[in-house]
């Protein structure tokens, strides 16, 4: 379902991978490039090829560490966050239209399943440690 909701007109020429990087930079930022690559599921080389395009578009910015110039962090710019808001709005509208097509009993079943699905999604987050997972299940 997520894959089918990904294409939006708001994203323009951005690929789904570039949108994923922007999402990760917004959620995790300012985030180290290595952590961003891990969060987005990319190898660092691929990420280093995509970052300049997003930076040139004004969607992300790099922040160099004052103490260690080798360390670079990435964060979404206000323009990048506004774009993500438009993308999310388009996705929400598309999903809402399809939900209205369902029978009332189907919508009720989905509503009951949502807390379980949300918990499952959180457990699948790659940035959770084993201890955090244990705490959530306790």
**Mean pLDDT, rounded, of the chain:** 85
Q: What's the pTM?
A: 0.76
Show the 3-state SS of the chain. CHHHHCCCCCCCCCCHHHHHHHHHHHHHCCEEHHHHHHHHCCCHHHHHHHHHHHHHCCCEEEEECCCCCCCEEEEECHHHHHHHHHHHHHHHHHHHHHHHHCCHHHHHHHHHHHHHHHHHHHHCCCCCCHHHHHHHHC
Q: CA–CA separation, 135 vs 47, rounded Å? A: 32
Per-residue pLDDT, 138: 47
What are the extents of the domains in the chain?
2-101, 103-138
CATH of 2-101, picked from 1.10.260.40, 2.40.30.10, 1.10.3720.10, 1.10.10.10, is: 1.10.10.10
- What pLDDT digit, counting tens, does each position of 25-51 carry? 998 889 888 888 888 788 888 998 999
Q: How confident is the model at residue 127 (pLDDT cuts 50, 70, 90)?
A: low
């Amino acid at each position: 379902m997520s894959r089918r909701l990904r294409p939006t007109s708001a994203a323009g020429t951005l690929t789904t991978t570039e949108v994923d990087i922007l999402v990760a930079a917004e959620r995790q930022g300012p985030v180290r490039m290595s952590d961003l690559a891990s969060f987005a599921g990319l190898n660092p080389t691929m990420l280093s090829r995509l970052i300049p395009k997003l930076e040139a578009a004004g969607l992300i910015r790099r922040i160099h560490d004052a103490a260690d110039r080798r360390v670079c962090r990435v964060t979404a710019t206000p323009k990048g966050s506004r774009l993500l808001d438009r993308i999310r709005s388009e996705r929400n509208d598309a999903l809402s239209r399809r939900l209205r097509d369902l029978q009332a009993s189907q919508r009720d079943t989905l509503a009951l399943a949502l807390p379980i699905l949300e918990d499952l999604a959180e457990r699948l987050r790659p940035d959770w440690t084993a201890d955090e997972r244990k705490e959530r299940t306790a």
